[in-house]
Amino acid sequence: MEPIKALKEIKKITMDYFTAAHMAPNNHKPVVYCNVFTPVELIYTMDMFPVYPENHAAIIGARKMTTELSAAAEGMGYVMDLCSYARCDIGSIKAGVSPTWGLPKPDLILVINCQCGTLTKWFEVLSRKYNAPMVLIDVPHSGNGEQDVCAEAYVRKQLEDLIKILESISGKSLDEAKFKEVMNLSKKASELWTRMLIMGEQIPAPMTVFDQFVSMFPIVSQRGTETAVSFYGNLVQELEERVAKKMPAVDNEKFRLFWDNLPIWSELSRLSGFLADRGASVVTSIYTWAWSQLAVNEQDPLTDWTRQYLYTFNLNFDYRVEKYIELAQRYSVDGFLFHSNRSCKWISQDVFALRDAITKSTGIPGVIFEADQNDPRLYSFENLEKQIENFLELLEFKGRHV
- Domain end, chosen from 130, 154, 174, is at 174
Among 136, 156, 174, which residue terminates a domain? 174
Element (H, E) at 163: helix 149-170
- The pLDDT value recorded for residue 402 is 67
Same domain, 136 and 226: no
- DSSP state, residue 131: T
75 & 88 share domain: yes
Identify whether residues 138 and 231 lie together within a single domain. Answer: no
Environment class of residue 1 by beta-carbon count within 10 Å: exposed (0-12), middle (13-18) or buried (19+)?
A: exposed
Question: Do the beta carbons of residue 36 and residue 114 sit within 8 Å?
Answer: no
> Do 266 and 118 belong to one domain?
no
Backbone φ and ψ of 134, nearest 5°: -125, 135
CATH number (domain holding residue 15): 3.40.50.11890
pLDDT tens digit sequence for 215-238: 999 999 999 999 999 999 999 999
Query: Do 233 and 149 lie in a common domain?
Result: no
Q: Sign of the C-alpha dihedral, residues 276, 281, 287, 289? A: positive
CA atoms within 13 A on the CB side of 35: 23
Q: Is the pLDDT of residue 63 over 90?
A: yes
Please give the single-letter amino acid code of residue 157: K
Q: How many domains does the chain have?
A: 2
Let me know whether 108 and 163 are in one domain. yes
**Do 18 and 160 lie in a common domain?**
yes
Examine the domain organization and report whether 182 and 234 are in the same domain: yes
Q: CA 119, 60, 231: angle at the middle one, nearest 5?
A: 90
pTM as predicted:
0.95
Predicted local distance difference test score (pLDDT) of residue 336: 98
**266 in the same domain as 129:** no
Q: What is the pLDDT of residue 37?
A: 87
> Where in 171-303 does DSSP place strands (E)?
255-260, 280-285
The CB density around residue 174, as the number of other CB atoms within 10 Å, is 14
Q: Where does the pLDDT of residue 327 fall: very low under 50, low under 70, confident under 90, or very high at 90 and above?
A: very high
**For the chain, percent of residues with pLDDT exceeding 90:** 88
Strands, E assignment, 244-300 = 255-260, 280-285
Is it true that the peptide bond before 53 is cis, omega within 30 degrees of 0? no
Give the number of other Cβ atoms within 10 Å of residue 153's Cβ.
10
C-alpha to C-alpha distances, 174 to 31, 46, 178, 226, nearest whole angstrom:
17, 6, 8, 20
The separation between CA 398 and the C-alpha centre of its own chain, rounded to angstroms, equals 33
245 pLDDT tier (thresholds 50, 70, 90): very high
Q: 203 and 349 share a domain? A: yes
* Claim to verify: residue 106 and residue 202 sit in the same structural domain: no
Range of the domain at 106: 5-174
Q: Which of 235, 223, 236, 237 is nearest to 189 (CA)?
A: 223
Condensed to tens digits (0 to 9), the pLDDT of residues 201-215 reads 999 999 999 999 999
Least confident residue range of 89-93, 230-234, 299-303 = 299-303
Q: Say what percent of the chain tops pLDDT 70.
A: 100
Of 158, 174, 190, the one marking the end of a domain is 174
Strands 255-260 and 280-285: parallel
Confidence class of residue 162 from pLDDT cuts 50, 70 and 90? very high
Instruction: State the amino acid at position 151 in one-letter form.
Output: A
374 and 353 in one domain? yes
The rounded distance, in Å, linking the Cα atoms of 117 and 348 is 14
Reply yes or no on whether the pLDDT at 41 is more than 90: yes
pLDDT at position 285 is 96
CATH code, domain with 323: 3.40.50.11900
Region 251-261 average pLDDT: 97
